[in-house]
Amino acid sequence: MSGLGETSYTLADIAAQLGGDVLGDGQTRISQVATLASAGEGDIAFLANRKYRNQLQSTGASAVILAPDAAEGFAGPRIVTANPYAYYARVAALLNPSAVEIAGIHPTAVIESTVPASVFIGPHVCIGKNVSIGEGCRIHAGCVIGDGAVVGEGSVLYPNVNVYHGCRIGKQAILHSGVVIGADGFGFAPDGKEWVKIPQVGAVVIGDDVEIGANTTIDRGALDDTIIGDGCKIDNLVMIGHNCNIGPYSVIAGCTGMAGSTTLGEHCILGGASMISGHLSLAPNTTISGASTVMRSILEPGGVYASVFPLDSYEHWMRNASHIRRLSKLADRVSELEKQLKEKHIEG
């Protein structure tokens, strides 16, 4: 039970700002979001997964967000909307606004470019020459922005983000701590036993409304730019290689690795720890299950793919793995048997 806090709205206020239909007392006051199981007075909960529908009868929430076909499952005040989960996200943002730092430049910052008066720049930030920083940006402690880089208006860089020279970040982007944008791609040419470094002369171009999780790295292009489309959401500890092109509104979960020159169509979804080989293309609206390895391009849009054994006991898993190791020999035996049968059929 969270109780009523400093920020609160009536259901009618919420619906006026976010839409949806209010059923029951529209003057019910809401101060926080919560789950059906933990909600108390002043909380609004939501039902997005039908397996929790029985919790509607026992929840202590003051109100619930529901889809139209579940609206009658709760007798108390409620907001009815087609997408309860997205609506809950917007209510959570309304009730929990981000802290806004007071504009200004910390005296320890080193800045070689002109920045707008509306920008917040924290301690020990370094901004190089010919950098463009948009209005209202928030650049937290320890960030480094290289020469010629661009950060669009309203973007937030949390502590210790590194944006290398010439890289461009769109408007309203969020980069969490430890993100590295524009480090050299992994490009080396073999020369005998040596490896000759290939200069990486492209950049990274990030669209508007992109969020990138902590300690994710996106390499600059070898020749052309690495592209992250508008609206992409990228989790923590993701590695995106040089010259990848990520389509708008794609989602990439944590610990995914993507080799160079991979192309994702619009609104692809990659589960956690996915591994994508280089020089492949995934069609729009492709979904890859977590821990899958993608070794070929996917050309048909809208598919859902997986490439791992389901969880099993160790003994069964090892038995299946041993069978797979023998598949090549088994295929050869089948081919030989088919050949022998064909020969006997011709002789007969």
* Mean pLDDT in residue range 303-326: 88
Same domain, 198 and 151: yes
Give the up-direction half-sphere exposure of residue 340: CA atoms within 13 A in the CB hemisphere. Answer: 6
pLDDT of the residue at 308: 78
pLDDT of the residue at 5: 47
Same domain, 114 and 250: yes
CA atoms of 161 and 175, how far apart (whole Å): 7
Looking at the domain assignment, is residue 58 inside a domain?
Answer: yes
The pLDDT-based confidence of 116 (bands split at 50, 70, 90) is very high
Looking at the domain assignment, is residue 4 inside a domain?
Answer: no
pLDDT of the residue at 6: 64
**Share of residues in the chain with pLDDT > 70 (%):** 98
Q: Which of 62, 95, 128 is the last residue of a domain?
A: 95
Looking at the domain assignment, is residue 135 inside a domain?
Answer: yes
pLDDT of the residue at 345: 76
- For residue 34, the enclosing domain spans 9-95
Joined tokens for residue 110: 């080193």
pLDDT tens profile 137-155: 999 999 999 999 999 999 9
Q: Among the options 242, 267, 316, 323, which is catalytic?
A: 242
Helix (H) or strand (E) holding 183: strand 180-183
pLDDT of the residue at 348: 62
Same domain, 48 and 178: no
Joined tokens for residue 245: 């092109």
Same domain, 217 and 335: no
Token pair 């609104």 is found at: 267
**125-133 contacts at long range (C-beta below 8 A, 24 or more positions apart):** 128/165
Same domain, 328 and 267: no
CA atoms of 289 and 294, how far apart (whole Å): 10
267 is catalytic: no
Sequential DSSP letters for 49-95: SGGGGGGGGT---SEEEE-GGGGGG--S-EEE-S-HHHHHHHHHHHH
Same domain, 127 and 250: yes
Q: What is the 3-state secondary structure (H, E, C) of 105-120?
A: ECCCCEECCCCCCCCE
Statement: the pTM of the whole predicted model exceeds 0.95 = no
Contact call for residues 212 and 176 (beta carbons, < 8 A): yes
Same domain, 39 and 163: no
CA atoms of 302 and 320, how far apart (whole Å): 30
* Mean pLDDT in residue range 189-213: 98
Same domain, 296 and 326: no
CATH of the domain at 290: 2.160.10.10
Q: Which of 141-145, 225-229, 326-330 shows the lowest mean pLDDT across its residues?
A: 326-330
Residue at 200: amino acid letter: Q
Same domain, 114 and 212: yes
Q: Which of 95, 124, 141 is the last residue of a domain?
A: 95
Q: How many domains does the chain have?
A: 3
pLDDT tens profile 12-27: 999 999 999 999 999 9
Average pLDDT over the chain, rounded to an integer: 95
Looking at the domain assignment, is residue 3 inside a domain?
Answer: no
From the CB of residue 296, how many other CB atoms can be counted at a distance below 10 Å? 8
